[in-house]
Amino acid sequence: MGVGGFFTSKLDEAIGWARKFSIFQYPFVTACCGMEYMATACSHYDVDRFGAGLPRFSPRQADVLFVVGTISHKMAPVLKRIYDQMCEPKWVVAFGVCTCTGGFYNNYATVQGIDTIIPVDVYIPGCPPRPESVIDGLMKLQEKIATGAQRY
């Protein structure tokens, strides 16, 4: 590795380190998982420790799309549009089994996993997931952000 390569990789590392602690999230909350999301975001579990304390209710200023709750076929185009509005780099977290696979809803109304519509970086299973699982998922996402394993 030449000197230039050394600086590039160190710079990537520094950017990755900075990014992983400045997660501006967009909570796309549609169902009961929102309660656990709120519990995670509040002081007891304090997601702000991971730099993800500020939800941005505009997809254009958000880095991470938290899809929290069941996505129906009627809602799917809305979710896709929100995702398309986010600027690169962007990540998606599927929060709860409904977003991961459709959960126990296999019927005419429910999307069988949001990964049929948009790409997903981290899956957090649970119905709903406990805040500990959410924090675990968030730390996995931080790892992914820091190592620059990005998808464009």
Q: Please give the residue ranges that form the binding site for another protein (CB under 8 A).
A: 73-74, 76-77, 80, 107-109, 111-112, 116-117
Phi/psi at 103 (5° precision): 60, -140
For residue 75, the minimal CB distance to another protein (Å) is 9
7-46 per-residue burial string, b: 16 or more CB within 10 A, e: under 16: eeeeeeeeebeebbeebebbbbbbbebbebbeebbeeebe
DSSP 9-20: HHHHHHHHHHHH
For another protein, give the closer residue by CB, 38 or 109: 109
For residue 118, the minimal CB distance to another protein (Å) is 9
For residue 99, the minimal CB distance to another protein (Å) is 13
